[in-house]
Amino acid sequence: MFSGSDYANWKAYGKIENYSPGKYQIKTYNKISQKGLSRFNTEFYEIHNSDNNSKDNINVQAILLRSHKLKVEEVGSSVCAIARCGSGTNNIPVAEMTELGIPVFNTPGANANAVKELALCGMLLGSRRIHAGTNHMKDLGRQGLAKERVEKDKSMFGGREIRGKRLSVLGLGQIGTILARDAHALGMDVVGYDPNLSVKSALALPHEIHLVDSIAAAVTNADYISINIPYLKGKGGTHGIINKDIIGNMKPSAVLLNFARGELIDSEAMLSFLDSGTGRYVTDFPDDLLWDHKNSIVLPHLGASTVEAEDQAASMAVDTIKDYLETGAIRNSVNFPTTSLPKPEDNSVRVTIVNKNLPGRLAQISESCANLNMNIMQQLNVSRGTIAYNVVDIDRNGQNDIQPFKRLQHKMLELDGVLSCRILLGI
C-alpha cells in the first residue's frame, strides 16, 4: 500500500470516473456524537453536516445518519458506504443500495447497556406504580396537601419487589443476555428463549438460567417478560408475535416489557389482557390503543437515548466506515458479506470490486488483471445473497502513476455485473 507521503497524489479512488486528490468527504444527517466523529483524522477526512449548508458539489464517499429517512436521490454516484448509528436500518433503502453496490452498516450492541438499564427500570415502574405516585404527589402539591396526605395516601400505591420473581427473556442477543445476567444478580429467577442462540451469548448467560423451547413455555408463570426479538416483516416474520395465544399463557399479573419494536405486539390482544387483570405493559413505542390505559406505561423512544450509547454508536459507525474506505474490510453490514482481510504488502495496490453474484465473474476479474500485465499478490472473494465482494492486491512494481490503475478500474467496470470498483490507498 502507499505511504502517507503519497497521499497528495493518490486517493482511494471510487466508482466514479472523476479522479481528484484530496480528503475523504463524509456527509452526516442528524446530530452525530462529536466523540464518534472525532475518530475521523482531519488530515484525511472532511465532514459535512446536512444542516449546515454544506457544499452541494462535493463528491461524498460515505454517509452517516441516525433517524433521517434516507432517500435514493440523496445518495450521489460517489457514495461508497452508508452507516447508521444504531441497530435498525428501516430508514435506509437497503435493497436499492445493494443494487448500487453500496454496503450499509449498522452498530449492533452499541445501545445494549442503555436498553438493558431501561428494561430494569421498566420492571420497577411496572411493580411499584412509581409514575402514578409521582403524578399523585404533584396533584397534592398543587392543592397544598402534599405534607398532610403523604403518609395516608401511600397505601394507594403499594407494589411488589422484583427479587425472587421470575423474568422471562425472549431473545438472547446482546441486550437479552446482559439483562438476564443482571436480573439474576438482583436475585431473580430467569427463563430464556432464543431459537438462534449463539455460542457467544450462551457462554455469557448465568448458569442458573432455564432455557425453554417456545415463547409460550417462556411466558408461562413469568412475573416479568422482556421482549428482545428483532422485527421481521413478511411470512414467517415476527409481526404481532406476542398474540392472543401467547398472551393467554401469561399470568394475569404479569408485566410485559417491550423496548424492541411496537409491531411485535398484537395491540387488541394486549388491550384485552390489561382490561381483564392487574398486569401491566411498559414500552417506549407509541400505540393508538394502549397509550392512555391505566395499566400501560408508554415512554418516549428512550432505548438508545443516553450520551454513552450515542457516543458508542457513532464510534462504531465511524470505525466501520474508516475500515471500509481505507482497507476494504467489511463488518457489521446488513447487506454485504463480512470480510476479514490480511494485511496487504507495502508494495501493493488494493482493488475492491462489487459485482452481482453470478458464475464466472471471479475468472473475468483475474483475466482483466492479466491482460494488463498486473500480478495478483493475494485475492479474496466472498458473497452474500445476490452480492459478491472481491479484494485483489496487485503488485505495485514500482508504479507511481495512477493511469494504469485507472485503466484497470475501467476494465472492471466494463464487465457485466460489476457494480463498483475502487482503488484503495492505505492511510
Sign of CA dihedral 244, 250, 251, 255: negative
Mean pLDDT for 292-306 is 92
**Last residue of one domain, picked from the residues 269, 298, 327:** 298
Among the residue ranges 1-15, 55-69, 300-314, 402-416, the one predicted with the least confidence is 1-15
- My answer on whether 264 and 384 are in the same domain is no
Mean pLDDT for 33-53 is 89
pLDDT at 56: 57
pLDDT at 58 over 80: no
Domain presence at residue 63: yes
Confidence class of residue 184 from pLDDT cuts 50, 70 and 90?
A: very high
Cβ atoms within 10 Å of 8's Cβ, excluding its own: 9
3-state secondary structure of 303: coil
Domain presence at residue 13: yes
pLDDT at 164 over 50: yes
- My answer on whether 208 and 273 are in the same domain is yes
pLDDT at 7 over 50: no
**Last residue of one domain, picked from the residues 298, 329, 351:** 298
In the chain, % of residues over pLDDT 70? 93
Q: CA 420 to CA 98: how far, in whole Å?
A: 11
- My answer on whether 118 and 104 are in the same domain is no
**Which residue range(s) make up the domain with 191?**
114-298
Sign of CA dihedral 422, 335, 105, 53: positive
User: 410 phi and psi, to 5 degrees?
Assistant: -60, -40
- My answer on whether 124 and 88 are in the same domain is no
pLDDT at 341: 80
pLDDT at 346 over 80: no
Mean pLDDT for 337-361 is 88
Among the residue ranges 109-118, 138-147, 211-220, 336-345, the one predicted with the least confidence is 336-345
pLDDT at 16 over 50: no
Domain presence at residue 277: yes
Taking CA atoms, 328 is separated from 25, 34, 353, 402, 407, in Å, by: 17, 24, 10, 19, 20
* Residue reference for cell 403524578: 135
Domain presence at residue 126: yes
- At 389, which CATH number? 3.40.50.720
Confidence class of residue 402 from pLDDT cuts 50, 70 and 90?
A: confident
Q: Which of 419, 89, 358, 56 is nearest to 230 (CA)?
A: 89
Confidence class of residue 425 from pLDDT cuts 50, 70 and 90?
A: low
**Mean predicted lDDT score pLDDT of the chain:** 90
414, 344 Cβ separation under 8 angstroms = no
Say how many domains are in the chain: 2
pLDDT at 17: 35
DSSP class of 193: E
pLDDT at 343: 76
pLDDT at 426: 54
Domain presence at residue 9: yes
- My answer on whether 287 and 154 are in the same domain is yes
Cβ atoms within 10 Å of 90's Cβ, excluding its own: 11
pLDDT at 57: 57
pLDDT at 19 over 60: no
Domain presence at residue 270: yes
CA atoms within 13 A on the CB side of 383: 11
pLDDT at 208: 94
Q: Helical H runs in 39-169?
A: 94-99, 112-128, 130-143, 146-153
- My answer on whether 140 and 287 are in the same domain is yes
Predicted structure pTM score: 0.81
Domain presence at residue 336: yes
Rounded to 5°, angle at Cα 76 from 53 and 86: 75
**Last residue of one domain, picked from the residues 268, 298, 328:** 298
Mean pLDDT for 264-278 is 95
- My answer on whether 204 and 142 are in the same domain is yes
Looking at mean pLDDT, say which of 13-22, 229-238, 372-381 comes out highest.
372-381
Domain presence at residue 303: no
pLDDT at 260: 94
DSSP assignment of 333-372: BSSS--B--PPPPTTEEEEEEEEE--TTHHHHHHHHHHHT
List the grid coordinates of 76. 450521489
What would the pLDDT profile of 123-157 be if each residue is shown by its tens digit?
999 999 898 899 999 999 999 999 999 999 998 98
- My answer on whether 53 and 130 are in the same domain is no
pLDDT at 141: 96
Q: CA 136 to CA 292: how far, in whole Å?
A: 16
- My answer on whether 242 and 386 are in the same domain is no
DSSP class of 230: P
Sheet with 81-84, side-by-side order of all strands: 45-49, 24-28, 62-65, 81-84, 104-105
- Give the residue, 6 or 83, on which the prediction is more confident: 83
- My answer on whether 89 and 122 are in the same domain is no
In the chain, % of residues over pLDDT 90? 80
Mean pLDDT for 367-395 is 93
pLDDT at 419 over 50: yes
pLDDT at 3: 30
- My answer on whether 123 and 95 are in the same domain is no
pLDDT at 52: 59
- My answer on whether 182 and 119 are in the same domain is yes
